[in-house]
């Protein structure tokens, strides 16, 4: 089942017990951020703040919309439900669904009459279009401002109209009429903004809050340049997204959105943005000049819901949906290059600083006369050059006896299969970005530094590979069957 708006998705979370209704009054500054952050760190239900001090009655904030679930039997339920999958779907199943959607013809969105569109229930124009009306909290106490966008979607179109990009990028509220948005040149929105700058024309934009969960997820993952996210979601849903025209420009936006902000972006980086707590798990300490997003119109649903992601120590949306999107892109790139890959994953606890590439036992049949070092080098050459994976500093190439979503497996592999000095393929002059937290100042300044692939591949089965001292491998099949047949189903204890 696909949820076409945020509210039906919240009803589904309620049904599985993964939504916490916070009805007591909370302050409008830091308390929603603090509760959301603690919810992420404890894998607690997603908090829905329904009584925010100073906010218009009925205005709400949703925390942790796609973080790890509170249900231990379905840890990725929020992402799975967002994408229309069963709530118990595993990481490989979710990643495979994202990859498979790439091969389905996209479905263009369909324009509907805006008269009855939920996002047009309330309209503010001119001076009335003011962000001060909305309960935008601080995410962290050292942030440069209230972040108006942490899980909303920016819509921008290339000047020739051939490419419309829907993406998530952080945007800081400056005052009621201005925001400063982080525009990274290598990202798609940065490429489109650069085209408008070349023409000397301000880029029109729409910033949407509270769209259908699949739209938010797809906006937050890498898909190929030139592909419209709206078409990709249409393929995922097997039906087009219903959209309406913006009030002030020719962009189109999801009709069921909670809040819609419209305006134009400055031609220069003219406004300080940041600092902000980031996915690496540390509070930011620096600001930078970024383009100004001027606000010209706002529309919203009755009793609107504003989503809030509080990035930080794992686990939050950076370590779930963003990592899944990166895994889908990495897997697709490696397979397109003819490399046998079972799956890829960035263990949440690594804050997307480790990437595990799992290969099947028969990889030597697919790549005859290829050493493990050569295999590792090819993986690094492909992944470290990809724009979508520029954040990755470390890759572990492992056999498929390792489950990359199980941290105990990954730690065991790193501890027992990574040689202290050998079998490491180093790319000494790779591209480095400031958001990855493991480099030195000179490397950030130059934008260059080392990246590494750890070759942990074991000998082929039957040719020197050690068996595990585990239940699965250290006992005959008849003994294991007898143990399992007599093991109580209601307890972990054999007694």
| Distance between CA atoms of residues 492 and 494, nearest Å | 7
Q: Is 456 helix (H, G, I), strand (E, B) or coil?
A: coil
User: Where are the alpha helices (H) located in 340-398, listed in sequence order?
Assistant: 363-366, 372-383
344: nearest Cα among 363, 357, 360: 357
CB 98 within 8 A of CB 278: no
- The single-letter DSSP state of residue 484 is H
47: nearest Cα among 249, 346, 306, 354: 306
Place of tokens 């020197």: 464
| Distance between CA atoms of residues 262 and 282, nearest Å | 32
Among 278, 296, 317, 348, the one annotated catalytic: 278
| 257 backbone φψ class: left, alpha, beta (φ>0; ψ -120 to 50) | beta
CB 375 within 8 A of CB 455: yes
Is the link from the previous residue into 275 a cis peptide, with omega within 30 of 0?
A: yes
Please indicate whether residue 278 is annotated as part of the active site.
yes
The Cα diameter of the chain in Å comes to 77
Residues 465-478: b if buried by 16+ CB within 10 A, e if exposed: eeeeeeeeeeeeee
Q: Is 4 helix (H, G, I), strand (E, B) or coil?
A: coil
Q: Which residues are catalytic?
A: 278
């Amino acid at each position: 089942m696909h949820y076409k708006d945020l509210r039906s998705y919240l009803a589904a979370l309620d049904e599985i017990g993964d939504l916490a209704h916070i009805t007591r009054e909370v302050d409008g500054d830091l308390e929603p951020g603090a509760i959301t952050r603690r919810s992420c760190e404890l894998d607690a239900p997603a908090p829905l703040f329904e009584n925010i001090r100073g906010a218009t009655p009925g205005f709400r904030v949703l925390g942790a919309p796609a973080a790890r679930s509170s249900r231990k039997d379905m840890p990725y339920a929020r992402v799975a439900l967002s994408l229309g999958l069963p709530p118990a779907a595993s990481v490989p199943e979710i990643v495979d669904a994202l990859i498979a959607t790439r091969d389905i013809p996209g479905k263009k969105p369909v324009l509907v009459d805006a008269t009855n569109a939920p996002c047009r229930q309330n309209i503010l124009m001119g001076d009335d279009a003011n962000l001060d009306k909305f309960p935008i909290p601080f995410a962290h106490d050292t942030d440069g401002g209230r972040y108006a966008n942490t899980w909303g979607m920016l819509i921008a179109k290339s000047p020739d109209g051939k490419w419309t990009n829907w993406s998530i990028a952080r945007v800081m509220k400056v005052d009621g009429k201005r925001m400063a948005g982080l525009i990274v040149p290598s990202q798609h929105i940065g490429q489109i903004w650069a085209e408008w700058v070349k023409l000397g024309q301000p880029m029109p934009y729409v910033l949407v809050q509270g769209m259908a969960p699949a739209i938010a997820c797809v906006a937050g993952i890498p898909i190929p340049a030139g592909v419209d996210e709206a078409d990709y979601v249409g393929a995922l849903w097997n039906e087009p997204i219903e959209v309406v025209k913006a009030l002030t420009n020719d962009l189109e936006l999801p009709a069921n959105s909670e809040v819609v902000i419209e305006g134009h972006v400055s031609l220069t980086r003219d406004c300080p943005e940041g600092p902000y707590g980031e996915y690496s798990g540390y509070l930011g300490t620096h600001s930078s000049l970024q383009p100004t997003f001027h606000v010209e119109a706002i529309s919203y649903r009755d009793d609107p819901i504003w989503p809030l992601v509080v990035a930080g120590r794992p686990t939050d949306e950076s370590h779930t949906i963003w990592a899944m999107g990166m895994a889908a892109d990495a897997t697709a790139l490696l397979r397109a290059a003819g490399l046998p890959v079972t799956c890829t994953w960035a263990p949440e606890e690594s804050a997307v600083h480790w990437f595990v590439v799992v290969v099947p036992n028969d990889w030597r049949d697919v790549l005859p006369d290829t050493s493990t070092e050569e295999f590792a080098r090819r993986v690094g050459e492909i992944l470290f050059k990809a724009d979508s994976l520029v954040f990755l500093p470390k890759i572990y190439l492992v056999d498929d006896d390792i489950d990359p979503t199980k941290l105990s497996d990954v730690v065991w592999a790193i501890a027992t299969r990574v040689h202290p000095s050998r079998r490491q393929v180093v790319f000494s002059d790779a591209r480095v970005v400031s958001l990855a937290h493991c480099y030195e100042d000179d490397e950030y300044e130059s934008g260059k530094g080392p990246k590494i692939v750890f070759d942990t591949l074991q000998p082929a089965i039957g040719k020197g590979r050690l068996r595990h001292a585990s239940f699965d491998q250290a006992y005959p099949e008849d003994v294991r069957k007898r143990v399992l047949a007599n093991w109580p189903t209601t307890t972990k204890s054999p007694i």
